[in-house]
Amino acid sequence: SNNKILVELDEASGVAIMKLNNPPVNSLSLELLTEFCITIEKLEMDRSCRGVILTSAAPKIFSAGLDITEMCGKSAEHYAAFWRAVQELWLTLYGSNMVTIAAINGTSPAAGCLMAMCCDFRIMADNPKYTIGLNETQLGIVAPFWFKDTMTNILGHRLTEQSLQLGQMYTTPEALKIGLVDQLVPEDKVQSTAAAVICNWLAVPAHARQITKSMMRKQNIERLVNHREADIDNFVNFIGKDSIQKSLQVYMDRLKQRKQ
Ligand code: CO8
């Protein structure tokens, strides 16, 4: 099916709005990840598209991060295919030549936060219920080195170390204060602000902006490209461990119990 990502390209402005559409929480399943990468690659090739606004079709949740069920009770082959797709998402989004703006209209843990961090600029809905951060350690798992590198490029070493060790989820004012997001706006202004911001970014000569972006991100990208297979092996070994499977199961059970 081709509806986990909704795309509206406005040829006049050269801006595509990409909406994550995987109810109830936009978790990143293998299917969604695959569709996400194909969508970005198509837009990248489309000369009429110069910028992307990434948002959620369902307000309240930007993305719950990786689909935990893809990491539970599956085969080593499945884990490897899943992890390759997660890597691919990061490589295509973080390495995109297009201007990318995250319009974060809801809570954004773990890989949800990673997707937002891959963009050039982050606008978040100022809702006291929303939080954002890399919470991996809270699940008993470890954020991979390229998640860490992406955050370090935004927050610096000290704050990233603290964030990652604690698995900290930040409220919107906290996220703004530390620079994890760039701008807070009322919920109903997220889209219009993103449209205005992307115009400013698109007004810069594209070639110079793209080379600059690449210069800032190249080292991080090369580090994963050069260690891609080892990173997959590492994930498959780690996630297949009984103790890790147990932690994930406990975490999922707790998520379900919270509801009752
Ligand atoms: N994956 C799969 N299912 C999920 C996920 C998820 N990430 N998040 C929520 N769900 C499910 C829930 O279990 C629930 O299922 P059901 O309806 O069958 O009971 C359904 O989605 C709805 O969830 P909630 O009832 O919890 O919805 P709320 O609106 O109350 O809350 C939240 C939404 C805040 C998003 C909440 O669901 C939440 O906190 N989810 C967990 C988010 C999270 O911790 N994600 C981390 C994923 S790990 C990751 O992205 C990077 C891992 C890197 C791997 C490194 C290993 C080496």
pLDDT at 41 over 80: yes
Phi, psi of 107 (to 5 degrees): -60, 145
pTM greater than 0.80 (yes/no): yes
Q: Give residues with Cβ within 8 angstroms of 188, minimum separation 6.
A: none
Q: Is the CB of 238 under 6 A from ligand 1?
A: yes
AA identity, residue 94? Y
Confidence at 258, pLDDT banded by 50, 70, 90? confident
66 lines ligand 1 (CB under 6 A): yes
Phi, psi dihedrals of residue 180, rounded to the nearest 5° = -70, -30
User: 201 alpha carbon to ligand 1 midpoint, in Å?
Assistant: 33
Long-range contact pairs involving 141-145 (C-beta distance under 8 Å, separation at least 24): 141/238, 141/239, 141/244, 141/247, 141/248, 142/238, 143/110, 144/231, 144/234, 144/235, 145/223, 145/224, 145/231
Q: Which residue has the tokens 């701008």?
A: 183
For residues 197-216, b (16+ Cβ closer than 10 Å) or e, as one string?
Answer: bbeebbeeebeebeeebeee
Give the C-alpha separation, 202 to 44, whole Å: 15
The answer, yes or no, to whether residue 1 has pLDDT greater than 80, is: no
Contact assessment for residue 116 and residue 172, using Cβ atoms and an 8 Å cutoff = no
> For a pLDDT cut of 90, what percent of the chain falls above it?
97
Please tell me the distance between residue 50's alpha carbon and the centre of ligand 1 in angstroms.
32
Does the CB atom of residue 178 touch ligand 1 within 6 A?
A: no
Residue of 255, 256, 259 best suited for mutating to test ligand 1, as the one with most atoms within 8 Å of CB = 255
Q: What is the pLDDT of residue 259?
A: 74
Mean pLDDT of the chain, nearest integer: 97
The pLDDT of residue 123 is 99
Q: Is 257 in the pocket of ligand 1 (CB under 6 A)?
A: no
Q: What integer pLDDT is reported at residue 260 of this predicted model?
A: 67
What backbone phi and psi angles, to 5 degrees, belong to 10? -100, 105
Q: List the domain boundaries for the chain.
A: 5-202
Q: What is the mean pLDDT of residues 179-207?
A: 98
How many angstroms separate the alpha carbon of residue 164 from the centre of ligand 1? 18
Centre of ligand 1 from the C-alpha of residue 109, in Å? 9
State yes or no: ipTM above 0.90. yes
Examine the pLDDT at 200 and tell me if it is beyond 80.
yes
Q: Is 129 exposed, middle or buried (0-12, 13-18, 19+ CB in 10 A)?
A: exposed
Query: Confidence class of residue 227 from pLDDT cuts 50, 70 and 90?
Result: very high
Q: How does residue 102 score in pLDDT terms, banded at 50, 70 and 90?
A: very high
Q: Is the CB of 111 under 6 A from ligand 1?
A: yes
Minimal-distance CA residue to ligand 1 atom 53 = 143
| Averaged pLDDT for residues 215-238 | 98
70 lines ligand 1 (CB under 6 A): no
pLDDT in tens, 127-140: 999 999 999 999 99
User: Which CATH class name applies to 5-202?
Assistant: alpha beta
In the predicted structure, residue 2 carries a pLDDT above the cut 80: no
Is residue 7 scored above 60 in pLDDT? yes
